[in-house]
Amino acid sequence: MKIAVCIKRVPVMEVKFAITADGSRVDETGLKYDVNDFDLWAIEAGLQLKEKNGNVGEVVVITLGTDAAQEQIRKALAMGADRGVLLQADRAPADGLAVARALAAELKDGGYDLILCGRIAIDSMNQMTGPMIAELLDVPCVTNVFRLEVAGATGRAERVLEGGSEVVEFPLPALLTIDDGLNKERLPSLKGIMAAKKKPLDVRPAQFGDAHVVVAKMSLPAERAAGRILGDSAAAVPELIRLLQTEAKVL
Amino acid sequence: MANVLVVAEVRGGELRKVALEAVTAARVLADQSGGGSVHAVLAGAPGIAAKAGALALHGADSVLVLEHAGFAMYNPEALATTIAQRLSGGAYGYALFSATSHGRDLSPRVAAKLGAGLVPDVTGFRVEGGAVVGEHPQNNGKVVATLSLSGAPALIQVRPAAFQPAENAKPLVTESMASAVDPDASRVKTVELKQGGGGKIDLNDAPVIVAGGRGLKAAENFKLCEDLADAFGNAAVGATRAVTDEGWRPHTDQIGQTGRNVSPNLYIGVGISGAIQHLAGMRTSKTIVAINKDKDAPIFKIADYGIVGDAFEIMPALTAAVKAARAQG
């Protein structure tokens, strides 16, 4: 089974973000980076499918970004992926379709049985790359997958809805976007980290095409003011009810 | 002047509240762009036309009814092809979708078919010199990107609860719309719809959310949240990732970075310390109440009202008080 996994280098979120003086982008000073969570679960899904298939085939990790993103590819290789491709670009475009075009161009002639993406990248929060790639390649697409069975040339997945879910059947080859709940990613072993250094990692320029969406500006949302502590026991409940009725007007 | 095509979300044969929000937003967009028409697509099994009235009531000039047994469940391939075909004739300046699981699945497919631009998950937008300018939360909602979208049609996803449904009654005009392809021939087949996670009301539809965290200690203690939600009558129950990872609640109930983003009028967090990943999913709630025994829990930093104390003592009292208040109101 030949599986491609699209991953993204994203900032670790446990920081206060700042915007550059010209208001055009996030200030990268002091940021740390890792593989997007959802993409880690997509890598894990790819590795498990290959293992279930007698370890026959290949898991290829593809990312789009600067040379620094080789670090994230190496992490995936250390987890067990077979090879990596970096589509080199100074900056990912704000237009999701431009990103999808670059990835689709790389995937097009790869002969993949499955293309896996994370549901969403937690930096851009676009959540559109997967279904756009599927359309560009004309392959079936199931998004937000949190349960998955693949048998031969067909798959059955359960996808998250707001307050519910859907069971979906699809033929391979297909593209799936992976949601939280499908699995937990494995940690790279020391042996895996050593092996990753010798695995192939190809670098080529990304091809985006035209873009319709551009960033006009970046800003920080208004801070929420800290509220009031009303008490330390059920004795505070009447005051809470009063405030919900009179001040917040939600009861 | 530009016409707006809006996709009204249906689940299990019922219009979702987000459909009324989207039509409300589409009306604003049409009016801002000089008085275009709003055409709402209503797709479903035969009989779905009966739901068209609510769309006209919220500002749709015309409801395009796409009735076929093949649309009884979500059919993204046939729907995307049909909507893309409708948009490709040049009759529409904009297409509007809800930023829900379905809308975020469907709209990128349509954008890719048309080579059109798509602005994801906007909390607000305006038309500026022909371009759509929308605010899109990024980096867990810690940054707001203002994105500008040019070209027609311009595709926009509106975040649930960002627009309150507003009545703007138009005469009910329906037009039947044919599927561009055989809906039964889609490769991707939705074979079962499972409604409802742990809560009785959808997290994105509920004006009130009672969310529980690890502080509740066990699955059975979520009864405290269920009881409070029942007392409100219009509340859903949500959970943190720690809770869904423990298997105390289904994954579909998870609020946060890796779960759902919610913006209810009232969010009550119980036994939730407020990990940054959870706060990312609920910080846009209008009013936040936190109940936690740790006075230093980060959730108190963003809560409007807090009670530092034992949830097992406070929750039954709060449930009784909400019941009493609603009985009076």
Mean residue pLDDT across chain B: 94
| A67 inside 8 A of chain B by CB | no
How many CA atoms does the CB half-sphere of B219 hold within 13 Å? 8
Which runs of consecutive H residues, i.e. helices, occur in B91-191?
101-114
Distance from CA of A170 to the nearest CA of B (A): 5
Q: If 0-12 CB within 10 Å is exposed, 13-18 middle and 19+ buried, where does residue B223 land?
A: exposed
Write out residues 56-115 of B within 8 Å (CB-CB) of A.
Answer: 73-74, 76-77, 80, 100-102, 104-105, 107-109, 111-113, 115
Are the beta carbons of B313 and A233 separated by less than 8 Å?
Answer: yes
Closest-approach residue (CA) in chain B for A119: B258
Structure tokens at A210: 């035209």
In the chain, the amino acid numbered A146 is F
| A91 inside 8 A of chain B by CB | no
Name the pTM for this structure.
0.92
- Tens digits of per-residue pLDDT, B38-96? 999 999 999 999 999 999 999 999 999 999 999 999 999 999 999 999 999 899 999 99
Structure tokens at B228: 């409070």
Closest-approach residue (CA) in chain B for A123: B139
Give CA–CA dist A208/B11, Å, rounded.
36
CB contact at 8 A, A207 and A68: no
CB contact at 8 A, B230 and B201: no
Q: With the C-alpha atoms ordered B78, B83, B86, B87, is the resulting torsion angle positive or negative?
A: negative
Confidence of residue A222 (pLDDT cuts 50, 70, 90): confident
Q: Is B180 helix (H, G, I), strand (E, B) or coil?
A: coil
- Tens digits of per-residue pLDDT, A108-130? 999 999 999 999 999 999 999 99
Are the beta carbons of B196 and A232 separated by less than 8 Å?
Answer: no
Instruction: Tell me phi and psi for residue B146, to 5 degrees.
Output: -95, 115
Are the beta carbons of A219 and B251 separated by less than 8 Å?
Answer: no
Are the beta carbons of A131 and B145 separated by less than 8 Å?
Answer: no
Q: Is the pLDDT of residue B284 over 80?
A: yes
Q: Is B59 helix (H, G, I), strand (E, B) or coil?
A: coil
Closest residue by Cα to residue B114 from B147, B148, B86: B86
Per-residue pLDDT, averaged over A94-121, amounts to 97
Total residues found in chain B within this entry:
329
Question: Which residues of chain B lie closer than 8 angstroms to A230, CB-CB?
Answer: 305-307
Residues 6+ apart with CB under 8 A from A30: A15
Question: Which residues of chain B lie closer than 8 angstroms to A229, CB-CB?
Answer: 295, 300, 306-308
Closest-approach residue (CA) in chain A for B198: A163
Residue in B191, B251, B260 closest to A162 by CB: B260
Closest-approach residue (CA) in chain B for A24: B145
Residue in B113, B118, B189 closest to A128 by CB: B118
Per-residue pLDDT, averaged over B147-170, amounts to 94
- Tens digits of per-residue pLDDT, A141-180? 999 999 999 999 999 999 998 878 999 999 999 999 999 9
Give CA–CA dist B1/B39, Å, rounded.
14
Give CA–CA dist A174/A156, Å, rounded.
11
